[in-house]
Amino acid sequence: MPEKLEVSFNSPQCGWMSIGFTDGVNEFHTTTAHAPHAAALPELMRILTALANKGGNPNDREGVISSEYVLRWNRDPEEYDFRFVRSGENVLIEIYQYPTEDRESEERELVYSHTGPLKETIDAFAVTFEQLYQDRDTDEFEFNWRQSFPLKEYEEFKERIKRG
C-alpha cells in the first residue's frame, strides 16, 4: 500500500528544474524545462487549486467544471502529460512520457501513478511550493528558471488550501 505522497521541486538551474514524486512504492524523478511549456508551473498551481475546489476550470473559464486535468511539460526531447483525476476525496496522479515532442499516444508510457487522499496530495504540493517560494530570491528563481515565479497562482493556491 502506498505511503503518503512526497513531492519535490528543486531550485531551477539554467532553465531546468528537477522534480520528483514518491510514495514509498512508486517513484518518479526527472528534470523539466522552462520552455516550450512556459506556463506549466503556474498551470500546475491552477490545476491543484481547482482540484481542491471540487472541480472548476484552472484557466478561469466560467461554467466549465471538471474533475480531470492534463498538464503538458517537457524534458526535451521527451514530453510528459501529468494527469490529475479527482474522485470524491481522492486524487489519481498519472505521468505519461512520450519519447518525442510529437506526442504519439501509442508511444506514450505510464511512468508514474499514485492514488491517495486529496488533502494529503494538495499538502504535499503545498510543502514544495512553499519551499520554492521561500527560496526564490536566494536561488535567483527568475534568472535560473528564465521566467517569473508564478506569484498570483501561488497566492490563489495558498488561499484555497487555507479555506480547506
Nearest to 76 by CA among 134, 33, 121: 33
Averaged over 133-147, what is the pLDDT? 95
Averaged over 107-123, what is the pLDDT? 96
Answering whether pTM is above 0.85, one says yes
For residue range 7-64, what is the model confidence (pLDDT) as tens digits?
Answer: 999 999 999 999 999 999 999 999 999 999 999 999 999 999 999 987 655 555 444 4
pLDDT of residue 58: 55
Nearest to 118 by CA among 81, 95, 93, 96: 93
Contact 23, 3 (CB under 8 A): yes
- What is the CATH T-level fold of the domain 6-163, as seen in this structure? Secreted effector protein pipB2 fold (3.30.2450)
Where do the structural domains in the chain lie, given as residue ranges? 6-163
Contact 11, 132 (CB under 8 A): yes
For residue range 63-96, what is the model confidence (pLDDT) as tens digits?
Answer: 445 789 999 999 989 999 999 999 999 999 999 9
